[in-house]
Structure 1
């Protein structure tokens, strides 16, 4: 999101790049996430708790990519845009971006506790509340976005004839101290910390599981690569955007920083296209390796292992 301001750094070649990338993200992001939703709902009988988070993640990504045609229109210089449209679509994009961040955190955490504590009744009962957690995430992101929209709604001016403001301006609200601190800590810092710890816990559990290391039924290397890939995608998409917010707050908004900020937001939008690949399709591969009967056998092997460590379990179907 960008507030309406005259501080921009227009560049025809950059505009073409934004049009091209946003178009690709819109087409593939919409197609892949809709495909994922169709598969999820067709396989409702085998739906797991993690799948609940994935369904909500797909919805969040679909809503995000549906705002991209407005950005394509803007960067393509196709006409004038109303200030209210700019603010509304910008807020929708950011709101769903943070919904995706929180949902990715929940997916990682849910997988971790399912693997590390497969026999815990407390964990099983907690995982059943996935829909409640998702509802809380939607309420949180919407409730924090609406006040900003109504504050900006007072300004209903039109974009200048050069069409250089709207998405080309300074993210003034996002770089205010209070907003920036809450964004960096709650919106990004905590989810990143949870994902790193969850990924470490998963890899540690897999490495210490005797059954996984000795069984030909489980490809532990592939599972570890899946975990690392998911974390790498998260960092690649969202770290540059939050670093740029911090730099703009610290050094103001010269053209190089504003240009870098616009690129970082574009990279963050790539997540909507990468999520289905990084989470849904890798999860399906994971599932095919870990059928229910296989999981039961590995649990039995673990329960009779010599170290007697109940936490050294094989990964479960998530």
Structure 2
């Protein structure tokens, strides 16, 4: 997987070429950029039927594109060249990590919005809350970049002799950064994804419409399972490696360092898998919302309260 190449005539060569990472990052760059660009074109044309989910997915596609644009420099580095300035490596790493966690939060918002739309379709408070999707997206952008900048500034001050993309980040060894990264950046979103996926699947199973031919309940359940599978497959390995790196402390063996780089590549591969979630969401979510409007008796309490609110006070 690693090929040792020594070129005495090239002072910019690191002597190591990772063919596997070069191929994978190249695939992610070409396919991910194309798919997400097509998704953005489709989303921007949905001006008449722009829903809250489309708003989240548009921001998710933008985050994926920004992440993908950092990959050519990683391809260049893994080809065996280390002549990249350190400030550029820090900026590219900042953009990649910020957009990775932005993708995590946006995927969580999509799942939460989907669950609320189907399970509490009669609630006016939920409907009003869902209309604040643009503000939620703005908050996510501010949170991800606002939290990442101080981390990278502290990394520049306390870590010397870094090797661009080869060195481990400060949040892999600093407890004050590891815990918020694991719990706020992945743990809490994962719990929300699991609860909302379970709630949406439960709502589909309880629906009387699901027993008819009006909607394809199996396709809706595949949508739920696919979205959750993509989330876990993309981000669980990376954060599991972060836990192991912290447990090793300062004496981190080389295999663990290599595992970190490969888990980061798997997290970047999420930009290719997200368009699969777009397809299921745009095609199937409308049907699940229609199912939710016909559900009996998922929101009987809301219906009763709405009925009572319409009755004149005696």
Question: TM-score surpassing 0.5?
Answer: yes
Aligned residue in 1 for 2:9:
none
Does structure 1 residue 49 correspond to structure 2 residue 52? Answer: yes
1:125-164 equivalence runs, <5 A? 125-153=128-156
CA distance in 1 between counterparts of 2:301 and 2:19 reads 53
Structure 1 residues 93, 209: closer, same or farther in 2, change over 3 A? same
Q: 2:73 aligns with which of 60, 70, 74?
A: 70
Q: Secondary structure at the match of 1:81?
A: coil
The alpha carbon displacement at 1:222 in A equals 1.1
Q: Deviations over 1:221-277 (max 9, x none)?
A: 111111011101111110010010110110141011111111100000000111111
Please list the CA deviations of residues 188-229 of structure 1 after superposition, one character each: whole Å capped at 9, or x if unmatched.
Answer: 00000000000000000000011122x212111111111011
CA distance in 1: counterparts of 2:218 and 2:62, whole angstroms: 31
**Post-superposition CA distance 1:279-302 (Å, at most 9, x none):** x11123315756x9xx28x73x54
Q: Does 1:222 align with 2:219?
A: yes
**Aligned match of 1:239:** 236
Quick check: 249-258 or 191-200, which moved more?
249-258
CA contact (8 A) 1:83 1:156 kept: no
Q: Does 1:60 align with 2:58?
A: no
The answer to whether the 8 A contact 2:119-2:298 is kept is no
1:137-158: CA deviation from partner (whole Å, max 9, x where unpaired):
0111111112233334559988
Structure-to-structure mapping, 1:185-200, within 5 angstroms: 185-200=183-198
Matched, 1:118 2:116: no
> Which residue of structure 1 aligns with residue 179 of structure 2?
181
Aligned to 1:259: 258
Task: For structure 2, list consecutive stretches of 5 or more residues without a partner in the other structure.
Answer: 1-13, 304-314
- Deviation per CA, 1:34-91, whole angstroms, max 9, x where unpaired? 1111011112101111111001000100000000011001001145111111111111
Greater relative contact order (Cα < 8 A, sep 6+): 1
2: CA distance between counterparts of 1:235 and 1:141? Answer: 20
Mark the runs of 5 or more structure 1 residues left unpaired by the alignment.
1-9, 160-164, 314-318
TM-score normalised per structure 2:
0.85
SS of equivalent residue, structure 2 residue 171: coil
Query: What is the root-mean-square deviation of aligned Cα atoms in Å?
Result: 2.5
Distance in 2, Cα, partners of 1:309 & 1:101: 29
Confirm whether residue 30 of structure 1 aligns to residue 33 of structure 2: yes
Residue in structure 2 matched with residue 162 of structure 1 by the alignment: none
1:275 matched residue in structure 2: 274
1:109 aligns with 2:109: no
Tell me if structure 1 keeps the 8 A contact 2:155–2:170.
no
The change in CA–CA distance for 1:308 and 1:18 in structure 2 (over 3 A counts) is closer
Q: Supply the distance in 2 between the matched residues of 1:195 and 1:182 (Cα, whole angstroms).
A: 18
Which aligned pairs between 1:294-309 and structure 2 lie closer than 5 A? 295=290, 299=293, 301-302=294-295, 305=296
Displacement of 1:167 in angstroms is 1.2
| C-alpha spacing 1:288/1:187, structure 2 compared with 1 (3 Å) | closer
**Aligned counterparts of 1:36 and 1:179: Cα–Cα separation in 2:** 34
User: CA contact under 8 A between 2:235 and 2:267: conserved in structure 1?
Assistant: yes
Name the counterpart of 1:6.
none
1:310: which partner in 2?
A: 300
